[in-house]
A and B are shown apart, each in its own frame.
Chain A
Amino acid sequence: GAGVSQSPSNKVTEKGKDVELRCDPISGHTALYWYRQSLGQGLEFLIYFQGNSAPDKSGLPSDRFSAERTGGSVSTLTIQRTQQEDSAVYLCASSVRASPWNEQFFGPGTRLTVL
């Protein structure tokens, strides 16, 4: 498909476990963004990549959250020692480049539930 894809679509985990969320951006898009959407809330910026570099990690809620991107393509968001407050939909977006002039295209998200 031509759009942004994310996997898994749903993830249920137990408190304290680690989880990995994957994002496949649109081919050729150099910029990749992660957002978090808590129930009934708007999207909250977490981190962005330009290529494989993450110049701004300021949105990551705690040091339990990390992200990487390899080959300028796939990105993985890792949450260690998950807590119940981590439950949310994690959305990924990509754009041609990291600029306010380039539209961000969103994936369908991964719904994370921490029991």
Chain B
Amino acid sequence: GQQLNQSPQSMFIQEGEDVSMNCTSSSIFNTWLWYKQDPGEGPVLLIALYKAGELTSNGRLTAQFGITRKDSFLNISASIPSDVGIYFCAGQLLRDAGGTSYGKLTFGQGTILTVHP
């Protein structure tokens, strides 16, 4: 099946620094999404990307959908302590063998972010 490789696995940074993480896939996805998971909670959607080459910002977050449809990155600028958590990339197909996709998410392994004040 499809797999997403996410890197780095973990990051330890100082407050105020910028962060970058990325995901690559062996096959094409039509949609790339980035989630954040806090301890004891489910993932929360940060950014969704629907078009190859698309660059989208949400506050201090910026994400891009790779032109090959096989990769995406997420940047966090000027990190703050509440950015701590696990960040996941996820891919979706718009169509599968049965027709219109039902929205199944394929996740990367996650990046654990620690921010030191």
Contacts and interface: CB of A to CB of B under 8 A. Distances in A.
Interface residues of B, number: 28
Contacts of A70: none
Q: Assign chain A's interface to a size class.
A: 20 to 34
A105 to B, nearest CB: 8
Contacts, number: 73
Contacts of B107: 35, 42-44
Most buried by B among A50, A100, A102, A107: A100
Given A48-B104, A56-B102, A56-B104, A100 B42 contact: no
B102 A50 contact: yes
Interface of A: 4, 31, 33, 35, 40-45, 48, 50, 55-56, 91, 93, 95, 98-109
Interface of B: 4, 6, 30-31, 40-45, 48, 88, 90, 92-94, 98, 100-110
